[in-house]
Structure 1
Amino acid sequence: MSEQNTLAFTKKYGPWAVIAGASHGVGAALADQVAAKGLNCVLVARREDALTDLKNQLVDRYGVEVLVVTLDLTLDDAADRLVAAVADREVGLLIYNAGGDPYITRFLDTPVEDWCKLLHLNTRTIMRCCHAFGGRMVARGAGGVLLVGSQAALGGVRKLAMYAATKSFAMTLGEGLWAEWKGQGVDVLNLLIGTVDTPTMRDAMVRQGIAGALTMQLAKAEDIAAIALRELPNGPTLIHPDDLAESPTGSHSGLARREHVQRISAESALFIGD
């Protein structure tokens, strides 16, 4: 990215970025690349040691300010705690990368209390974060919301029923917010990804007895992060890697989803107003 483009990025999405789920993988890669563009970072996850290590790296490499917020995002009041920790810092970019499925089981094989934690993580907490930080961005007329999701959001999946359902909520929320905020200077992008080369993904594959779990070629977190930040202005949905083809086609392409959101929003305005 050129110096001019970096300055434009910082002006629109700075001076602070909140990265939820920043302890490893795509979240950590996003934090690194956001900091490289000059944004200060609020790093959020449960693992304080990993966040502190990342903080030290970002400060040393880029000279940015970094706030570590150790927080379990499945808690009922997680969003309130995060907003309180951020305080009056001017947040121009919200990245919600949390929400992986730690269970990967059939629905009835996991206690409902555990499913409720996943439900809070991918619905209540994400909604409240979008409301709190998105409201600040709309008020100032600039900003961005990046919701890192999954292709599971596109429909039900065996052994991922709750994960798919909650990711679908996040995707639909993001598309609606894109339609509401695109004329107010705030970009919204759902990034729907498949398998990514992270320790969590590798561990899950090993637990499931997948052949080649440790050697299979998977997309790299840093590549996913670069694509996400590049495509942030081009919401509402990017399906990786399908939409990177020269001519993506089919009803599940990001382009098709954008056209659907635009059409339905226009049709609905006849009955519910702009």
Structure 2
Amino acid sequence: MSDFKHRYGPWAVIAGASHGVGAAFAHLLAARGLNCVLVARRAEALAALKSELEVQYAVEVLLVTQDLSHSDATERLIAAVGDREVGLFIYNAGGDPFITRFLDTSVEDWGSLLSLNSLTVMNCSHVFGAPMVARGRGGLLLVGSQAALGGIRKLAMYTATKGFALNLGESLWAEWKDKGVNVLNLLIGTVDTPTMRDAMVKLNIPNALTMSLPKAEDLAQLALDELGNGPTLIHPEDTLSNRASSPGQARRLHVLNKSAKAAVFIGND
């Protein structure tokens, strides 16, 4: 516990913390003694979570109520965090609220999803990652989706933006792995959250409210346990197959091999 707090504390920022996997991360990190910055749009849900964390774990909690799809999202977040030392940044925002064919949603709405899943991810990774690299310790955890691995009908922009985050995370892992900063992409399929259940109901999925789905708490625990084994964890495949031949290990070897080949032309610094 003390080693974890030293490596990833004293503060963790959790973007998308109001419920589901984000809230599960908050509970697990607070239980390990980390103070938490909780970021989401839903003020009431954040306030309730803040109360739970303070009472149960006696940690400090800062609430930041904002929409991460806005162009000034990172600037506002940094202003709220102030001079707090952030040792762990978790980006858990970015679900697709549309789930439509590409032309059935406006360019403006797609632009909002693009900003949420790409621009804000890039900005936050840069802002919070720089001090971690300078200190020689810390972690970046990007909660993504298996949709990042290829195109899917009715999920064009979702797959595209999740692919951006996946490639960013894997590249940062290659750059920071020898500098004491861990980077992990957590690629999940479905998860038992109110957002997921609501989406399934709207899409008239049979047994939408009773279907067995992975629990948010289990996914968050798995991600924290595997944070040092980046760059990518694919759930549930990486928990079911032999670690030496798992999809996540294949991603790791891919990044290492491609980086080594590219070094001939772009340098190895």
Aligned to 2:267: 273
Structure 1 distance, partners of 2:254, 2:15, is 29
Unaligned runs of 5+ in 2: none
Aligned equivalent of 1:71, options 66, 77, 80? 66
2:134 aligned with 1:139, yes or no? Answer: yes
- Secondary structure in structure 2 of the residue aligned to 1:35: helix
Aligned equivalent of 2:254, options 250, 257, 260? 260
Aligned to 1:214: 209
1:74-114 deviation per Cα after TM superposition (whole angstroms, max 9, x unaligned) = 00010111011101100000000000001111111111100
User: What amino acid maps onto 1:254 in structure 2?
Assistant: G
1:246 is displaced (CA, Å) by 3.8
Which aligned pairs between 1:80-229 and structure 2 lie closer than 5 A?
A: 80-229=75-224
Contact 1:25-1:197 at 8 Å conserved across structures? yes
Structure 1 distance, partners of 2:183, 2:248, is 13
User: What amino acid maps onto 1:256 in structure 2?
Assistant: A
Which aligned pairs between 1:50-69 and structure 2 lie closer than 5 A?
A: 50-69=45-64
1:248 is displaced (CA, Å) by 5.6
- Secondary structure in structure 2 of the residue aligned to 1:69: strand
User: What amino acid maps onto 1:152 in structure 2?
Assistant: A
TM-score, structure 1 length as denominator? 0.96
User: What amino acid maps onto 1:32 in structure 2?
Assistant: H
Tell me how many residue pairs correspond in the alignment. Answer: 268
Aligned equivalent of 2:7, options 4, 7, 12? 12
User: What amino acid maps onto 1:17 in structure 2?
Assistant: A
Structure 2 distance, partners of 1:71, 1:11, is 29
**Runs ≥4 in structure 1, deviation > 4 angstroms?**
none
Structure 2 distance, partners of 1:52, 1:273, is 48
User: What amino acid maps onto 1:150 in structure 2?
Assistant: S
Contact 1:242-1:248 at 8 Å conserved across structures? no
Contact 1:151-1:193 at 8 Å conserved across structures? yes
Structure 2 distance, partners of 1:248, 1:96, is 25
Structure 1 distance, partners of 2:267, 2:70, is 36
Structure 2 distance, partners of 1:263, 1:120, is 30
TM-score, structure 2 length as denominator? 0.98
Contact 1:19-1:94 at 8 Å conserved across structures? yes
User: What amino acid maps onto 1:269 in structure 2?
Assistant: A
Structure 2 distance, partners of 1:248, 1:133, is 30
1:249 is displaced (CA, Å) by 8.1
Identical aligned residues as a percent: 68
